[in-house]
Amino acid sequence: MTDTFRFFLVQANPSLGDIAGNAAKALEFWQRGRAAGADLVALTEMFITGYQTQDLILKPAFHQEAIRAIEDLAQACADGPALGIGGPVLQNGRLFNGYYILEGGQVSARVLKHHLPNDAVFDEKRLFSSADVTGPYVVKGVRIGTPICEDAWHPDVAETLAETGAEILLIPNGSPYHRGKPNLRLNLMVERVVETGLPLIYLNMVGGQDDQVFDGSSMVLNRGGKLALQMPQFDEVAELVTFRRGAEGWQADQGQIAAIPPIGEADYRACVMGLGDYMRKSGFSKAVLGLSGGIDSAIVAAIAADALGAENVHCVMLPSEYTSQHSLEDAAEVARLLGARLDTVSIVGARGAVGDALAHVFQGTEPGVTEENIQSRLRGVMLMGISNKFGGLLLTTGNKSEVAVGYCTIYGDMNGGYNPIKDMYKTRVFLTARWRNENHRPWMKGPAGPVMPERVITKPPSAELRPDQRDDDSLPPYEVLDAILEGLIENDLSVADLVAQGFPRETVKRVEHLVYISEWKRFQSAPGVRLTQKAFWLDRRYPMVNRWRDGSGA
* Whether 346 and 417 share a structural domain: yes
Report the mean per-residue pLDDT for the chain. 95
pLDDT of residue 1: 59
Q: What is the pLDDT of residues 17-43, one digit of tens each?
A: 999 999 999 999 999 999 999 999 999
* Whether 227 and 318 share a structural domain: no
Of 228, 253, 278, at which residue does a domain stop?
253
* Whether 178 and 280 share a structural domain: no
What average pLDDT score do residues 313-326 get?
Answer: 90
* Whether 497 and 401 share a structural domain: yes
Of 217, 234, 253, at which residue does a domain stop?
253
- Nearest residue to 204 (alpha-carbon basis) of 17, 51, 87: 51
Domain count of the fold of the chain: 2
* Whether 220 and 286 share a structural domain: no
Q: What is the pLDDT of residues 432-485, one digit of tens each?
A: 999 999 999 999 999 999 999 999 999 877 776 777 777 777 789 999 999 999
Asked if the structure places residue 168 within a domain, the reply is: yes
Of 229, 253, 277, at which residue does a domain stop?
253
- State the CATH number of the domain containing residue 198: 3.60.110.10
Give pTM, 2 decimals.
0.94
pLDDT of residue 128: 95
* Whether 90 and 235 share a structural domain: yes
* Whether 483 and 375 share a structural domain: yes
Domain of 296, in residue numbers: 264-523
| 3 state SS of 311 | helix
Highest mean pLDDT pick, 56-70, 319-333, 457-471, 536-550: 56-70
Which residues touch 483 (CB under 8 Å, ≥6 apart)? 503
* DSSP, residue by residue, 196-230: H---EEEEE-EEEETTEEEEB--EEEEGGGEEEEE
* Whether 84 and 218 share a structural domain: yes
* Whether 68 and 190 share a structural domain: yes
Asked if the structure places residue 536 within a domain, the reply is: no
pLDDT of residue 462: 72
Asked if the structure places residue 546 within a domain, the reply is: no
pLDDT of residue 71: 97
266-to-41, 44, 449, 531 alpha-carbon distances in Å: 28, 21, 19, 9
pLDDT of residue 333: 94
Asked if the structure places residue 419 within a domain, the reply is: yes
Q: What is the pLDDT of residues 491-506, one digit of tens each?
A: 999 999 999 999 999 9
Q: Which residues are catalytic?
A: 45, 113, 149
* Whether 288 and 220 share a structural domain: no
Q: What is the pLDDT of residues 222-236, one digit of tens each?
A: 999 999 999 999 999
* Whether 269 and 247 share a structural domain: no
Q: What is the pLDDT of residues 347-402, one digit of tens each?
A: 999 999 999 999 999 999 999 999 999 999 999 999 999 999 999 999 999 999 99
Asked if the structure places residue 540 within a domain, the reply is: no
* Whether 276 and 327 share a structural domain: yes
Asked if the structure places residue 246 within a domain, the reply is: yes
Res. 507: pLDDT tops 70: yes
- State the CATH number of the domain containing residue 336: 3.40.50.620
